Structures are given as structure tokens and as C-alpha cells.
Amino acid sequence: MAHLLDRRRFISIAASAAGMALLPSGAMAKGMHTVAWEGHALGAAARMTLHHPDRRAAEELIRQAVVETERLERIFSLYRPDSALSELNRVGALAMPPAELVAALETSRDVWSLTGGAFDPTVQPLWTLLADHFGGAEPDPSGPPRERLGEALQRVGLDKVAFSASRVAFARAGMALTLNGIAQGFITDRIVDLLRRGGVTKTLVDMGEIRAIGTRPDGSPWTVGIEDPRHEGGLATVLEVEDMAVATSSGEGFRFDAAGRFNHLIDPRSGLGAGRYRSVAVVAPDAAAADAFSTAFSLLESNEVANVVERRPGLQAHLFDRQSP
């Protein structure tokens, strides 16, 4: 299996520092304490840096954010056998699901509907098929046998998932969910809510997805660089954001095959990987939506993307063609 790049997203914080919180307008004030944390959220690098007049208060906010992240991982992780998602995938149904799981599915259904099914968290059977095929000895580079691909496609479709506050259930045996295309954004939004309740008014949160709270301390927008996956350290563009989230997706992030015809951005309609754009960046009011739409837009024609953006207030899309310099 070809893991030519193992990053799903290509974002760098172009601001001088991330996580400015509770600062007066202007430069760093005397008496401010800096408390930083680096770790992971659902396998992605995450970081927070709070500048706060009360070190203990900042440390407590960081502690609460880490605890909340760990709690949400026990819901959304595909790789923890004790997570709610893992239990759902094993059994095919889940009684009294966590409210966060239902909320993520509601957002998923909204994006699934708006994008004509391009975003679909039920693609996990396709991922498993591709991983098994390309992880074998001397795999056929053209992909899995057509009949096996067809069988997996029959188990894909968010319309085959019934969910409510009391139960989540699959309509067909062998179905499975992956929320990797929305869960990091969902966690980012929850951490933003936690920090806001703690009095944070200016920060840039990076929990696998990026979301700005307010502006930078001097009143200017936060700047977020969108990396060019073809050039290490190169930027495709720089976005200015204020009280918005940014997410990117690129088929270059994970390839099953050397040619990249099969990659982690799986089209639920064909089983093939995204290949239309070099990368896609989405700006949205919340990180969960930005996360999901960046995946969907990677699979849609530019006119289809424009139609969705027109229908969704606050949504912006930046499409970087493979042929563009």
C-alpha cells in the first residue's frame, strides 16, 4: 500500500502565534502567562497556546479541553474497540447513543443531502476493501475485483442509517461508519465552546481542524496558510479568518496505490478516490461543516460546488486545480 503522504489536511498557521486569548488589543501585555499544549485528536496533531493573566486559569482550561477531547475520542474513534462508533460497527445498532454521535450524524445528513451524497460517512466498507486489497501481496493496480467493489457499494449510503436520540441502526449487514471526515471538526467546535465559556475571546484553536475565536489581539484577522501538497513548505494561498473555521482536503494525503487513483477521499458512488483537484479549502462558521464540505467538494465539479456554496450562508470554497501553477 502506498502511503506517499500520511497527512489528510494541508494547513499551516501563518500567524505569529496560535491561541492568543484574553489579551488587550495590541502587543503582549506585562503579567501575561503562556500555557501551551500539544497532543493529538483522533490521530491528528493538535495544539493550543493560551496567553492569560492567570496561569492557573489557563492551565485549567487546557486540562478541561484535553479531558473533553479524550471523552469525544471514546465516542468517535475507529481505532478504539471501546468507542461508541466501534460498537455500532460491530453490532450494527446502538441503543441510547451518545448525544454527540447523533449530532455528528445530523450534520453529516445535512451535508450529504446538500452535496447529493458526495459526503457519506458509510464509506467504511469501501475503505476496508481497498486496505485489504492493496495491503496484500502484489495487488492488482487496477483495484479490487469489480464484483467485490459492487458488493461493498451496496453497503454504502447514509439513507440506509436510521438514527434518533434512542437508537442508531444500519439497514444492511456489513455496513460501517467512519466519522473521520467530520469528527475532528466536531471536536474542534466543542473545544471552542469550552474556551468561550471560560472567557476566551481571541484564540486560534487547532484540534485537527482550525477555528478562530474572534480576531488576533491587535484586531486584525487570523491568517491561515493553505499548503501546496506538491511542494513541501509551499503555500497555495493564505486565508484571513475571523470567527470562522478552515478545513482542507487533498487526495494526496493518503494513497492506496502509487498512481493515487485510489486514495482516502473515497467517492461513495464509485469507490474511486478524489482526483479532480490538487486540494480543496473550505471556510465555514463551524469546523464540523468545514471538515465535511471539504471532503465532499473534493469529489464534485466546480459548478456543483458553486451551487452548494450559494445555498449555504457563510460557506466559502477554494478549489486548486491540478493544472494551476
What residue has cell string 481542524?
Answer: 209
Which cell numbers hold the place of 272? 474511486
84 Cβ neighbours under 8 A, 6+ residues apart: 74, 75, 76, 94, 97, 98, 101
Check residue 10 and give its pLDDT: 46
| Cα-Cα end-to-end distance for the chain | 29
Mean pLDDT score, 286-297: 96
Check residue 291 and give its pLDDT: 95
Domain that holds residue 144: 84-170
Which cell numbers hold the place of 104? 455528528
**Exposure b/e, 121-142, CB count within 10 A at least 16 = b:** bbbbbbbebbeebbeeeebeee
Check residue 30 and give its pLDDT: 54
Mean pLDDT score, 311-321: 93
Asked whether residue 190 carries a pLDDT value surpassing 90, the answer given is yes
Mean pLDDT score, 47-64: 84
Check residue 290 and give its pLDDT: 96
Residue 107 lies in a domain: yes
Cite the DSSP H helix spans in the chain.
Answer: 55-76, 84-91, 99-114, 124-134, 146-153, 183-197, 287-297, 302-311
Check residue 229 and give its pLDDT: 64
Check residue 44 and give its pLDDT: 75
Asked whether residue 70 carries a pLDDT value surpassing 90, the answer given is yes
Greater model confidence, 232 or 157: 157
Residue 79 lies in a domain: no
Residue 294 lies in a domain: no
Which cell numbers hold the place of 121? 460517512
Residue 60 lies in a domain: no
Check residue 168 and give its pLDDT: 98
Number of domains within the chain: 1
Name the strand (E) or helix (H) holding 39: strand 33-41
pLDDT category of residue 233 using cuts at 50, 70 and 90? low
In this structure, is the dihedral angle defined by the CA atoms of residues 225, 203, 179 and 311, taken in order, positive or negative?
negative
Amino acid at 250: S
Check residue 127 and give its pLDDT: 95
Amino acid at 64: Q
Check residue 232 and give its pLDDT: 63
Q: What is the CATH number of the domain that holds 123?
A: 1.10.3980.10
Check residue 20 and give its pLDDT: 37
R_g (Cα) of the chain, nearest Å: 20
Q: Give per-residue pLDDT as tens, 80-96.
A: 999 999 999 999 999 99
Residue 74 lies in a domain: no
Check residue 1 and give its pLDDT: 45
Which cell numbers hold the place of 62? 487546557
Is residue 291 within 8 A of residue 247, CB to CB? The reply is: yes
Is residue 115 within 8 A of residue 296, CB to CB? The reply is: yes
pTM: 0.87
DSSP per-residue string spanning 65-108: HHHHHHHHHHHH-SS-TTSHHHHHHHHSEEES--HHHHHHHHHH
Asked whether residue 9 carries a pLDDT value surpassing 60, the answer given is no
Residue 10 lies in a domain: no
Of 12-21, 102-111, 194-203, 250-259, highest mean pLDDT: 102-111
Residue 8 lies in a domain: no
C-beta pairs of 79-82 under 8 Å, 24+ apart in sequence: 79/43
Check residue 17 and give its pLDDT: 37
Average pLDDT score over the chain: 86
Cα separation, 1 vs 135, whole angstroms: 5
Is residue 155 within 8 A of residue 280, CB to CB? The reply is: no
Cα separation, 136 vs 145, whole angstroms: 13
Check residue 22 and give its pLDDT: 36
Greater model confidence, 175 or 275: 175
Q: Give per-residue pLDDT as tens, 239-279.
A: 889 999 999 988 877 888 888 888 889 999 999 998 889 88
Q: How far is CA 175 from CA 112, 120, 241, 263, in A?
A: 17, 12, 38, 20
Of 52-61, 153-162, 198-207, highest mean pLDDT: 153-162
Residue 325 lies in a domain: no
Percentage of residues in the chain with pLDDT exceeding 90? 58
